[in-house]
């Protein structure tokens, strides 16, 4: 079989094509290439250098051209995976081609080997997961990182649930991004999995963290990802259209400032995991029937956290958002496991007088409500 005959065979079975892996270069510029099927009948070509990976979207109608000029060119071994079979294509230095076809798993084998389908699957070459230690050098989940792997996928799944039909472009702001790598994985998900032209800006207070994250983004070739040292409560932030705001474990009232920014700037999507709700706990004084929640320290602390998040949820609903409260991770992993996920609906804003009346019964003020009072509700209609 010649290379042209192999390409013809692959294009004839394009509807069943899953991925193609090219390795052992002989004159090729990249050490490895992977062509994957993605949504909408399209493909994604991943091209690997020793320290970077480049992602090139390929339209289905351009598949044959891609195979001829970029995939089957300059590699000793190429593995082609279909839904029902696989090909191993071996090319020697003289251009002689050997092709071996093997059958796919039987139905019983497939059922036996079936695993939960994660958005980030074991075997994918995702740089951030390897640097985090979740994946080994062979792209397998490290034995000690199974929980972390599930948590990361859980976060991406919560985003995927509301991005079934994503826009062509997205601008995302991540407040208190730290160095957890979730920002990198969100960027990878949006650009690679969803083929969305994405700009992500991560904000953090620590200069050394920002420098390391910018260096990692450059290493990965993530041109649309940048990190900036800034305080969400007082510094000048991104002033153009913002589509999504992420705030994972932003401490205490930093969460409120991030939520307020999202409301004021018309963010379509909000993903927030609050942390360290000290504000209400420091003020709360129950009267009459409400003293039952404030008489013991541990109960007071937990009740204050629940009250804080309940106020945030209702304030977002009043601002025109549909809000879900999700268990982000199991309680045995972390007690800070509540995620507030909000999507703007276009509904007109409602005042927060009921919330203020509730808080007055506990003699407290709450930052998000104060910010909405001072700055008013949203002025834009969200991303459509």
What pLDDT does residue 272 have?
93
Pairwise CA distance, residues 89 & 303, whole Å? 63
Which residue positions in the chain have pLDDT lower than 70? 39, 93, 95, 104-116, 180, 286-290, 328-336, 375-384
Q: What pLDDT, on the 0 to 100 scale, is given for residue 244?
A: 95
Q: Do 106 and 162 sit in the same domain of this protein?
A: no
Residues 204 and 65 in one domain: no
Per the domain annotation, does 134 fall within a domain? no
Assign residue 162 the CATH number of its domain.
3.40.50.150
Q: How many domains does the chain have?
A: 2
Residue 383 lies in a domain: no
The pLDDT score that the predictor gives to residue 70 is: 85
Please choose, from the candidates 190, 116, 115, the residue with its C-alpha nearest in 3D space to the C-alpha of residue 156: 190
Encoding tokens for residue 78? 């190429």
The SS3 call for residue 104 is: coil
Residue 152 resides in a domain? no
- Does residue 353 sit in helix, strand or coil? helix
What local confidence, expressed as pLDDT, does residue 383 receive?
Answer: 41
How confident is the model at residue 377, as a pLDDT?
Answer: 56
Range of the domain at 38: 3-113
Let me know if residue 87 belongs to a domain: yes
Could you tell me if 218 and 79 lie in one domain? no
Our CA angle for 140, 217, 48, nearest 5°, is 55
Element (H, E) at 239: none
E strands, 92-140, are 97-103
Assess whether 199 and 109 both reside in one domain.
Answer: no
- The pTM assigned to this predicted structure is 0.68
User: What gap in Å lies between CA 287 and CA 173, rounded to an integer?
Assistant: 40
pLDDT, position 46: 87
Tokens linked to 118: 């994660």
DSSP summary character for residue 230 = -
Q: What is the pLDDT of residue 287?
A: 66
Q: Report the pLDDT value the prediction gives residue 105, as an integer from 0 to 100.
A: 52
> Does residue 381 sit within a domain?
no
Same domain, 182 and 308: yes
On whether both 102 and 181 belong to a single domain, the answer is: no
pLDDT of residue 288: 66
Q: State the number of CA atoms in the 13 A half-sphere of 303 facing the CB.
A: 18
What's the pLDDT score for residue 378? 53
| Distance (Å, whole) CA 318 – CA 33 | 49
Give the end of a domain, one of 113, 141, 169.
113
What is the C-alpha to C-alpha distance for residues 186 and 269, in angstroms, rounded to an integer? 14
Residue 330 counted as domain residue? yes
The predicted structure's pLDDT at residue 225: 94
pLDDT value for 376? 59
Residue 341: inside a domain: yes
Tell me how far apart the alpha carbons of residues 52 and 56 are, in angstroms, rounded to a whole number.
Answer: 13
Q: Which two tokens stand for residue 304?
A: 């204050």
**Which run of H or of E encompasses 172?**
strand 169-175
Position 380 scores a pLDDT of 42
Domain assignment present for residue 150? The answer is no
**3-state SS, residue 251:** strand
């Amino acid at each position: 079989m010649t290379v042209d005959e192999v390409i013809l065979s692959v294009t004839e079975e394009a509807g069943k094509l899953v991925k193609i892996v090219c390795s052992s270069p002989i004159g090729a510029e990249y050490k490895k290439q992977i062509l994957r099927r993605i949504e909408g009948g399209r493909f994604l070509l991943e091209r690997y250098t020793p320290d970077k990976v480049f992602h090139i979207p390929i339209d289905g109608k351009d598949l044959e051209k891609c195979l001829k000029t970029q995939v089957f060119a300059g590699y000793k071994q190429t593995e082609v995976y279909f839904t029902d079979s696989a090909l191993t294509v071996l090319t020697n230095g003289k251009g002689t081609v050997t092709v071996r076809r093997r059958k796919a798993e039987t139905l019983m084998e497939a059922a036996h080997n079936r695993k939960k389908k994660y958005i980030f699957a074991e075997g994918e070459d995702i740089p951030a997961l390897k640097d985090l230690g979740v994946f080994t050098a062979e792209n397998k989940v490290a034995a000690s990182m199974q929980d972390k792997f599930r948590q990361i996928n859980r976060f991406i799944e919560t985003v995927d649930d509301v991005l079934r039909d994503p826009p062509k472009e997205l601008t995302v702001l991540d407040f208190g991004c730290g160095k957890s790598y979730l920002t990198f994985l969100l960027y990878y998900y949006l650009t690679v999995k969803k083929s969305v032209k994405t700009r992500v800006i991560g904000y953090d207070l620590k200069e050394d963290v920002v420098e390391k994250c910018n260096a990692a983004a450059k290493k990965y070739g993530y041109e649309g990802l940048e990190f900036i040292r800034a305080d969400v409560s007082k510094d000048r932030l991104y002033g153009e259209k913002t589509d999504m705001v992420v705030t994972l474990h932003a401490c205490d009232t930093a969460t409120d400032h991030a939520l307020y920014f999202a409301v004021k700037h018309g963010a379509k999507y909000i993903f927030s995991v609050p942390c360290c709700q000290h504000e209400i706990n420091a003020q709360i004084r129950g009267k009459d029937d409400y003293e039952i929640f404030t008489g013991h320290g541990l109960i007071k602390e937990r009740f204050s956290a629940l009250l804080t998040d309940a106020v945030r949820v209702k304030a977002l609903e009043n601002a025109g958002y549909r809000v879900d409260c999700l268990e982000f991770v199991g309680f045995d992993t972390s007690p800070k496991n509540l995620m507030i996920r909000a999507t703007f609906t276009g509904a007109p804003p409602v005042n927060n007088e009921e919330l203020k009346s509730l808080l007055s019964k506990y003699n407290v003020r709450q930052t998000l409500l104060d910010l909405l009072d001072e700055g008013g509700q949203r002025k834009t209609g969200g991303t459509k």
